[in-house]
Chain A
Amino acid sequence: MQVTLAIKRFNPESDKPQPHYEEFTVDVEEHFTVLDSLIKVREEVDESLALRCSCRASICGSCAMRVEGHATLACKTKLISVMDGQSKVRIEPMTNQPVIKDLVVDMKPFWDKIRDVEPWLQPQEPEPEDEYIAPNEAMIHLTGVMGCIMCGACVSDCTVLEVDPNFLGPAALAKAYRFVGDPRDDADKHRLKELSKYTGIWDCTRCYECVEVCPKGVAPMDRIMALRDRAIAAGFDGNYGARHTEAFSDLVEHSGWLDELRMIPKTFGMFNPLSLGPLLGMIPIGLRALRRRKLPPIRHKSIPGVKNVRRIFKKVEARK
Chain B
Amino acid sequence: MAVYEHDVLVVGAGLAGMRATIAADAGGANVAMITKVHPVRSHSNAAQGGINAALTSRGDDWDDHALATVKGSDYLGDQDAIEVMCSEAGDTLIELEHMGVIFNRDEEGHLGTRRFGGQEVARTFFVADITGQALLQVLYEQIVKSQARIYEEWFVTSLVMVDGQCRGVVALELMTGQLHLIKSKAVILATGGSGRVYEPSTNGLIVTGEGMAMAYRAGAALMDMEMVQYHPTTLKGNGILMTEAARGEGAYLLNSEGDRFMEKYAPNMMELASRDVVSRAVQTEINEGRGVDGCVLLDLRHLGRELIETKLSYINEVALDFVNVNLADQPVPIRPGCHYIMGGIKTDVNGATTIPGLYAAGECANVSVHGGNRLGANSLLDTIVFGRRSGHTAATYAAEAGEKAISESVINADRDFIKLLMSREPGNDSWAKIRRDMGDTMNEHVAVFRNEDGMQTAVKAILQLKERFAQLAVRDNSQVFNTSLLFTMELGFMLDVAETICVSALARKESRGAHYRTDIPERDDENWMRHILVHASPEGPSIDYLPVVITRWQPQARSY
Contacts and interface: CB of A to CB of B under 8 A. Distances in A.
Interface of A: 11-13, 31, 42-44, 47-48, 50-62, 76, 78, 100-101, 104, 107, 111, 114-115, 119-121, 123, 127, 129-136, 139-140, 142-143, 146-147, 149-150, 182, 184
Contacts of A142: 102
B480 A101 contact: yes
Contact of A62 (B41, B317, B318): B41
How many residues of B sit at the interface, in one of the four size bands?
Answer: 35 or more
Contacts of B482: 48, 50
B202 to A, nearest CB: 8
Contact of A55 (B204, B475, B484): B204
A133 B109 contact: yes
Contact of B144 (A11, A31, A120, A136): A120
Interface in B395-439: 430-432
Contacts of B100: 120-121, 123, 182, 184
A123 B112 contact: no
B484 A149 contact: no
A31 B432 CA distance: 21
A31 B318 contact: no
Interface of B: 37-38, 40-43, 45-46, 55, 57, 94, 97-100, 102-112, 127-128, 130, 133-134, 137-138, 141-142, 144-145, 175, 204-206, 237-238, 240-241, 310, 314, 317-318, 321-322, 430-432, 474-476, 478-484
B40 A135 contact: no
B45 A121 contact: no
B102 A146 contact: yes
A133 B108 contact: yes
8 contacts: A31-B237, A42-B483, A47-B476, A48-B484, A59-B45, A120-B141, A120-B145, A139-B103
A76 B478 CA distance: 30
Given A62-B41, A100-B481, A142-B102, A55 B57 contact: no
Contacts of A127: 98
B367 to A, nearest CB: 26
B41 A61 contact: yes
Contacts of A131: 94, 97-98, 103, 110-111
Given A50-B481, A123-B98, A136-B109, 7 more contacts: A50-B483, A60-B46, A62-B41, A121-B100, A133-B109, A149-B40, A150-B137
Q: Which of A60, A61, A149 has the most CB of B within 10 A?
A: A60
A48 B483 CA distance: 7
Contact of A60 (B45, B106, B317): B45
A238 to B, nearest CB: 30
Given A13-B478, A146-B102, A132 B97 contact: yes
Contacts of A55: 43, 45-46, 204-205
Contacts of A104: 481
A151 B480 CA distance: 22
A43 B109 CA distance: 50
Contact of A136 (B57, B106, B141, B238): B106
Contacts of A146: 102, 127, 130, 133-134, 137
B481 A61 contact: no
A166 to B, nearest CB: 20
